[in-house]
Amino acid sequence: MVIQYKCPNCGSDMAFDAESGKLSCPNCGRQDNIETFPEENIERKLDPEEAKEYHCENCGAVILTEAETTATHCSFCGAPVVLADRLTGDLAPAKVIPFTISKEEAVAAFREWTKNGRLTPRGFMSGDRIKKMTGMYVPFWLYDIDGTAEVAAIGTRVRNYQRGDTIYTETDFYDVYRAIDLSYLKVPADASEKMDDELMDKLEPYDYRELKDFRMPYLAGFLAEKYDYDDEALFSRVESKIVPYIDSYIHTTISGYSTVSYTNKQIQANKKNVYYTLFPVWMVYYDFENKEHTFAMNGQTGKVVGKPPISGGKVAAWFTGIAASTFVALKAVAYAMGGVLW
């Protein structure tokens, strides 16, 4: 909890003055006794950085959490706890995609996924080394982006023809200009410092048809985090994410040319709407050869991502198999085309 003492004269924040032992206003110089300071000038508000005590309604145990935690379990009786005061005001999510995959389904899906690892060691594929599986809501910002693109380019159309013993190459040059209004909806960026951005990007896409207005009960029984980065801080990352998309769209608007070289390309992206949203993720902690491997599963679609261990032997076997079969196939094709086997 943050408590601020406002100066009754000018409204500035008063500070404790060690010399006089009184509250002192740095702005107007007023001094007040701490004991007699008027109650209406004391402002109390939650400090989002502060770790805070909560009491479990079930067993009365004290629950200590990190400042970022918004939903957790009681470590004594296991009861799900939602820390409501961390989900209000600016910290309240606008949207949530609820979990559609249960823990049992997630375990089964993960085991199935480990079996399909073409390059993973044999022991890894048994899928029975799950150390911990945690369902958590990860904070994301979803951006509706409006933008404009202006491009100038030089396009060429090339035609070759032959007359007698001379080959003619005719090149027509064109000035190409395009002005484009752009719109992208609900482009996500994960707002949690703990979560690996690359991993979260690979979990996409989520099915936005399941996007719901946020309600507290969705979080019961799962862990949830509040955002570490606000929407301003992440906008540059989202911009860099959509620039290739914009480039590919621009490319589709310029057709019929042999070559296109851009002389000027200006892309302006603006935030139209931003939604603070919680996405469901199953975090899987898997033990293999005395190492913990972390995997993430999309709690809505079941897509699994993470870096599994790679077996050198299997890599070599696949490489040899593919190279050898390609070589044999090429030899066969060459032979069919009139070549010799060796």
Partner 1 sequence: MLFFMMLTGGVAVSAADQHIYDQADLLTEAEESELEALAAEYSQQHESDFLFLTTPSTDGVPVMTYMGDFFDGWAVENGQEDAVLLTIDMGSREVFLAGFGTAETTLDNSRVDMVLDRIMPYMRIGDYGGAFRETVTTASRYMEFRPGANPESIFFKTWFQLAVSLVLGGVIVGSMVLNAGGRVTTTSRTYFDGNNTRVTSERDRFRNKTVTRRRIPKKNNSGGGFGGGGMTGGGRSFSGGGRGF
Residue 268 zone, left/alpha/beta (φ > 0; ψ -120 to 50; rest): beta
Q: Supply the minimum distance, in Å, between the C-beta of residue 162 and partner 1.
A: 8
Under the binding rule (CB under 8 A), the answer on residue 324 touching partner 1 is: yes
Under the binding rule (CB under 8 A), the answer on residue 168 touching partner 1 is: yes
Place of tokens 């955002």: 227
Structure tokens belonging to residue 233: 């801080």
Under the binding rule (CB under 8 A), the answer on residue 196 touching partner 1 is: no
**Pairing mode, if any, of strands 130-163 and 223-225?**
parallel
Under the binding rule (CB under 8 A), the answer on residue 86 touching partner 1 is: no
Residues 285-304 that bind partner 1 (CB under 8 A): 303-304
The secondary structure of the chain in percent helix, strand, coil, rounded to multiples of 5, reads: 25, 40, 35
Under the binding rule (CB under 8 A), the answer on residue 108 touching partner 1 is: no
Compare residues 36 and 166 and give the one whose CB is closer to partner 1.
Answer: 166
Structure tokens belonging to residue 142: 């979803």
Please identify, among the stretches 40-48, 84-92, 198-206, 276-284, the one whose residues bind partner 1 according to the rule CB under 8 A: 198-206
Residue of 8, 80, 302, 306 that binds partner 1 (CB under 8 A): 306
Per-residue b or e along 143-172, where b marks 16 or more CB atoms closer than 10 Å to that residue's CB: bebebebebebebeeeeeeeeeeeeeeeee
Structure tokens belonging to residue 342: 């060796």
Please identify, among the stretches 57-65, 82-90, 227-235, 238-246, the one whose residues bind partner 1 according to the rule CB under 8 A: 238-246
Give the three-state DSSP class for 21: coil
Compare residues 24 and 311 and give the one whose CB is closer to partner 1.
Answer: 311
Residue of 36, 88, 166, 264 that binds partner 1 (CB under 8 A): 166
Under the binding rule (CB under 8 A), the answer on residue 176 touching partner 1 is: yes
Residue of 6, 79, 108, 204 that binds partner 1 (CB under 8 A): 204
What is the per-residue DSSP string for 114-156? Answer: HHT-TTS-GGGGG---EEEEEEEEEEEEEEEEEEEEEEEEEEE
Between CA 273 and CA 187 the distance in angstroms is 10
Binding site for partner 1 (CB under 8 A): 117-120, 146, 154-155, 162, 165-187, 201-205, 242, 244-245, 248-249, 253, 303-308, 310, 315, 318-320, 322-324, 326-327, 330-331, 334, 337-340, 342
